[in-house]
Every structure is written in C-alpha cells, then in structure tokens.
Copies of this chain bind each other. A is one copy, B any other.
Amino acid sequence: MSSMSALPGPAFLFRLAAAAAAESLPRFRQGGSVDNKLENAFDPVTEADRAAERAIRSLIEKEYPDHAILGEEYGLSGGGIHRWVIDPIDGTRAFISGVPVWGTLIGLVVDDVARIGIMHQPFTGERFWADGTSAFYDGPGGGRALKVRPTQRLDEATLFTTSPRLFSGEALARFEKLEASVRMTRFGTDCYAFAMLAAGHADLVVESGLKPYDIVALIPIVEQAGGVITTVSGGRAEEGGEIVAAATAELHAAALQILAD
C-alpha cells in the first residue's frame, strides 16, 4: 500500500468513527467515571475514551492486521510504514463538561506523512474527513467539500486556541503578541478549531503541547482543504508539539514570524 490508490476509503473511516460513537455518545452527559491520569494534573479519562479506542482498534486489527496503531489510551502496537493514530475523544474536558466540541480523531500515517483522517462529532452528527486528495464535511446543513478561506493578513484573521494557559514564559509572550495582532481570538475549541479552519470559518489555530494523536487526523483535513499546518519551527506536524495551522501560506508565515522569532 505505497500508492495513493491503495489508501483505505472514507467508508472505512466512517465505520471506525461509528464504532467509536457507539461507545462514546451513550456516555456523553451521563456523569460517567473520571480518573486522574497524572498524579499532579487533572487529566480526565472516561470509560468512553477507553471503550471507543478499543472499538476502533478492533476494526483496524481485523481489516489491516499488518498496520501499526498508536492510540491515546493504549499506546503503540505493531510497526511498519502504516500507522493509524487515534484519539477516541479529543477534548475530554469538553466531553466531561457536556459541551459538544470534542471529537473522535482517526488518522493514517504512511511513510511518516498523515494521508487520510477523520474528525467525528457524534452528538451534532458532523464528520470532517480527508481521503488522500480532498477534504469533505457532512452533517447538519448538508455535505460539501472543505475549502479554507483566502485570509492572508493577521489583522483580518480569526485565531483559535484551546486555552492561553497552554503557554508559559517566552511562548506565552509570543502568543500574546500574536493575539494582539489578529482580529479575533476564541478559546476552548480543541480539534473543532482545525475543522473550522478547514471549513473556512476560521483562519489560524495555535496549540501547544500536542501529542501525535491530537493532531495526525487533522493534518490531512487541513492540508487537503488547502491550508498549511506545521510545527512552530516549520516542520511536519505529525509528531505534535507546538502547532500552527493557517488558511494560507502568507498567513502561516506571518504567524510563524511572531511565534518562532
């Protein structure tokens, strides 16, 4: 499976997303159990998270037994050039506080590059996905191709980030400089922000401390909708870290000039 034509099709992504939703949605707003993953930080992991990841893994293992899988809850299994990267519930804080801006993220990396991916929000019924060439949406309002908007200037840009608290020290100072340069900033969006960028409703997303499973599924969605997504130093985003996604190359360069100087 080294050629584009051999990539799994959207139907398989939809099956994976549906299997995850069957575990996550019934537990949304039900007050399920919340563990503390880290001793000194509140990092909620619900049963929904774990059950959804098991459901996704099970389908992948059956269909593509030679592919590796990296998941937030159960780590890495397998090896080779194909690696599925999954976050069963991106935005667990949104999930446990009832706000439907979390999503299930499933992406496939081939030869170190994210090729296809899906973001599914089962409460609203929204799916954003990339098939290796183009990116699409379906859900309320009807289906359509995803296309970034042509914003080139920071002072015309809408910036999304999950929380200004993700930055500290020098990175915070740079983020605040960026915030002061854009037209509008919105907080609290997690994966939803990248979907809105791909859909042409926002222009810039900056996140810090991302893991591969927070970003891999979103890379092809942003890129195949016409956007640019890299680390803050301009490299490929597959390994996570501090990530900058932009609607256009011009806007991306302007953001990097502030964030990486």
Residues in A lying within 8 Å of B, measured CB to CB: 28-29, 31, 42, 44, 93-94, 96-101, 123-124, 140-141, 149, 158, 160, 162-165, 183-189, 192, 196, 199-202
Contact = CB atoms under 8 A, between A and B. Distances in A.
Given A29-B141, A141-B29, A97 B188 contact: no
Contact of A196 (B44, B98, B124, B202): B98
A131 to B, nearest CB: 21
Given A123-B124, A186-B93, A101 B98 contact: no
9 contacts: A42-B184, A97-B160, A97-B184, A97-B196, A97-B201, A99-B186, A124-B124, A124-B140, A187-B187
Contact of A123 (B98, B140, B149, B158): B140
Contacts of A184: 42, 44, 93, 97
Given A99-B192, A99-B196, A196-B99, A186 B42 contact: no
B97 A99 contact: no
Stoichiometry, copies per complex: 2
Contacts of A96: 158, 201
A31 B202 CA distance: 10
A160 B158 CA distance: 22
A29 B124 contact: no
A81 to B, nearest CB: 35
Given A123-B124, A164-B164, A99 B98 contact: no
Contact of A186 (B100, B188, B196): B188
Contact of A201 (B98, B123, B196): B98
Contacts of A100: 100, 124
A227 to B, nearest CB: 14
A141 B28 CA distance: 9
A199 B100 CA distance: 14
A183 B41 CA distance: 9
A111 to B, nearest CB: 33
The winner among A160, A164, A201 for most chain B CB atoms within 10 A is: A201
